[in-house]
Amino acid sequence: MRLILPVGLIATTLAIAPVRFDREKLFRVKPQDKKQADIIKDLAKTNELDFWYPGATHHVAANMTVDFRVSEKESQAIQSALDQNKMHYDILIHDLQQEIEKQFDVKEDIPGRHSYAKYNNWEKIVAWTEKMMDKHPEMVSRIKIGSTVEDNPLYVLKIGKKKGRRKAIFMDCGIHAREWVSPAFCQWFVYQATKTYRRNKIMTKLLDRMNFYILPVFNVDGYIWSWTKNRMWRKNRSKNQNSKCIGTDLNRNFNASWDSIPNTNDPCADNYRGSAPESEKETKAVTDFIRSHLNEIKAYITFHSYSQMLLFPYGYTSKLPPNHEDLAKVAKIGTDVLSTRYETRYIYGPIESTIYPTSGSSLDWAYDLGIKHTFAFELRDKGKFGFLLPESRIKPTCRETMLAVKFISKYILKHTP
């Protein structure tokens, strides 16, 4: 049955004022032992802490760098509690609203032209997908793989020669709404691939022999919401039964040991796994598409931010995958290549031991499905700006990441059956 909202209620929904973050702070704490880790967990029970790293309270452990956002109202109490317990901390951001506004530090070159040095909203990204098809009809096609809860289209761009079956790589960006540098990279990749074809030897070889399926924004509704209403939004925008809280963490919604990690079953939490594996329209559209192209997809790469890591399976177990050595080798060379441009240092390894244990991730799901080269990039930075990376850092981030992605692609072309 369709729920018909009264006109007044619809108007109210549309008129929700954007959330402001005046004088909110980002704390960084490194608990020295279990006792200090438990203090942070206790503070999270009595205060509204938004964990930027790790993604949720239950991941907090001794000797881990922990970043969390605190409201102006609660920041004094948090500081007092940390001081009282002799816990060392830094305040990385003193006024979050100021940092949000300072993100947009690049002027538009030519009004109306798509800018790869700026963050682009969903409307601009849709227009850009059309422009790329029109400009490169022989190489770019757009596939609608499904739609979101709010009926926005999910578009995949296929880059490569139209005819003939060949190896392919699937890449997605923006599974978490607030990680804006991620969709910026997917746009950059498509732009560079099409622009440098026949000019750059490696890109020409890759596009002559492979296809790339690019999902520029996975979590479209959440991305729109992060632009219009709440810059810190992470989940999608689906309604949850018997809860006033909105949204599912799409990267906990895949059928890969979906319910094995505790504390992902609270609809109000940022890492809520959903009511069932693939319960979300976005997840279902992506899994259906990948399953239907499984005979050609040889690698899966997903882009997140922040923390400068290159991750591979597993997240839900400490057990290493059978081709662990191969994955580690590719990740090591990939991070080495990435660092050649600006000396940006990445670490690499399995999700579980490198970042923290996760269940229901797209990376593990793709690997278990049979795609034996699956990687997740956690892009810049290491916490100075966190999710609020200024636009002036977009191009350097994309340029260095492009080097690693090209290396992985060459490796896939050469070494997969």
Q: In a 10 Å sphere around its CB, with 0-12 CB exposed, 13-18 middle and 19+ buried, how is residue 9 labelled?
A: exposed
Count CB-CB contacts under 10 A for residue 226: 23
Measured CA to CA, the distance from residue 342 to residue 361 in angstroms comes to: 30
Contact 87, 39 (CB under 8 A): yes
Nearest to 283 by CA among 249, 257, 325, 306: 249
* Ramachandran quadrant class, 169 (left: phi over 0; alpha: psi -120 to 50; beta: rest): beta
Distances (CA, A) of 328 to 187, 333, 369: 27, 9, 20
Of residues 282, 378, 391, 400, which has the active-site annotation?
378
Measured CA to CA, the distance from residue 330 to residue 401 in angstroms comes to: 14
**Known catalytic residue at 123:** no
Measured CA to CA, the distance from residue 146 to residue 217 in angstroms comes to: 13
- Cβ contacts of 357 within 8 Å, gap of 6 or more: 59, 261, 315, 316, 351
Q: 250: number of CA atoms within 13 Å, CB side?
A: 32
Count CB-CB contacts under 10 A for residue 63: 10
End-to-end CA distance of the chain: 48
Q: In a 10 Å sphere around its CB, with 0-12 CB exposed, 13-18 middle and 19+ buried, how is residue 34 labelled?
A: exposed
Measured CA to CA, the distance from residue 415 to residue 400 in angstroms comes to: 23
DSSP-derived secondary structure for 341-378? HH----EEEEHHHHT---SS-HHHHHHHHT---EEEEE
Measured CA to CA, the distance from residue 125 to residue 132 in angstroms comes to: 10
Helix and strand numbers (H, E) in the chain are: 13, 12
Q: Where are the beta strands (DSSP E) in 236-321?
A: 297-305, 309-312
Residue linked to tokens 């997840």: 283
Measured CA to CA, the distance from residue 374 to residue 221 in angstroms comes to: 25
Catalytic residues: 378
